[in-house]
Structure 1
Amino acid sequence: MAVAAALGDRVAFETIVHRYGPLLYGYVRRMISDCDAVDDVVQETFIAAWRQIHNYRGDAALKTWLFRICDRKIVDSRRVRYAEPIDDRLLDPINPSAAAQDPAVVVSITEFLAALERALAELPVRQRACWVLREIDALTFPQIGVTLKMSPGAARGHHHRAQVTLRQRMQRWQR
Structure 2
Amino acid sequence: MTDDDPLGRAEDSTLVVRAADGDVPSFAVLARRHGPLMRVYAEQMLGSNVESDDVVQESFLTGWRRLSDLDTPAHFRPWMMQIVTRKAIDRLRRRRHHDDIDGYERPADPAQSPERIVEARLQLDAMWAALDRLPADQRRCWLLRETAGYSYQEISEALELPVSTVRGLLARARQFLLREMEAWR
TM-score range, shorter chain: 0.5 to 0.7
2:51 equivalent to 1:47: no
Structure of greater relative contact order (alpha carbons < 8 Å, 6+ residues apart): 1
User: Given that residues 38 and 56 in structure 2 are in contact (C-alpha distance below 8 angstroms), is that contact kept between their aligned partners in structure 1?
Assistant: no
Matched residue of 1:101: which SS?
coil
User: Given that residues 78 and 154 in structure 2 are in contact (C-alpha distance below 8 angstroms), is that contact kept between their aligned partners in structure 1?
Assistant: yes
How big is the alpha-carbon RMSD for the aligned residues of Structure 1 and Structure 2? Answer: 4.0
Amino acid at match of 1:161: R
Amino acid at match of 1:100: P
CA-CA distance at 1:19 after TM superposition: 4.2
What's the counterpart of residue 112 of structure 1? 123
What's the counterpart of residue 78 of structure 1? none
Q: Take 1:54 and 1:126, find their aligned partners in 2: how far apart are those partners?
A: 22
- Give the TM-score, by structure 2 length: 0.63
What's the counterpart of residue 11 of structure 1? 25
* 150, 169, 174: which one aligns with 2:161: 150
| Matched ranges for 1:19-34 at <5 A | 19-21=33-35, 23-24=37-38, 26=41, 30=45
2:140 equivalent to 1:102: no
| Matched ranges for 1:68-83 at <5 A | 70=83, 74=86
Q: Where does the alignment leave 5 or more consecutive residues of structure 2 unmatched?
A: 1-9, 87-91
Distance verdict in 2 for CA 1:113–1:64, change over 3 Å? same
What's the counterpart of residue 145 of structure 2? 134
Amino acid at match of 2:31: V
Amino acid at match of 1:16: L
- Give the TM-score, by structure 1 length: 0.66
Q: Where does the alignment leave 5 or more consecutive residues of structure 1 unmatched?
A: 75-82
Q: Which has the larger radius of gyration?
A: 2
Amino acid at match of 2:110: A
Amino acid at match of 1:162: A
User: Given that residues 15 and 30 in structure 2 are in contact (C-alpha distance below 8 angstroms), is that contact kept between their aligned partners in structure 1?
Assistant: no
Q: Take 1:123 and 1:54, find their aligned partners in 2: how far apart are those partners?
A: 29
Q: Take 1:123 and 1:40, find their aligned partners in 2: how far apart are those partners?
A: 28
CA-CA distance at 1:146 after TM superposition: 0.6
Distance verdict in 2 for CA 1:96–1:138, change over 3 Å? farther
Alignment size in residue pairs? 152
Distance verdict in 2 for CA 1:129–1:4, change over 3 Å? closer
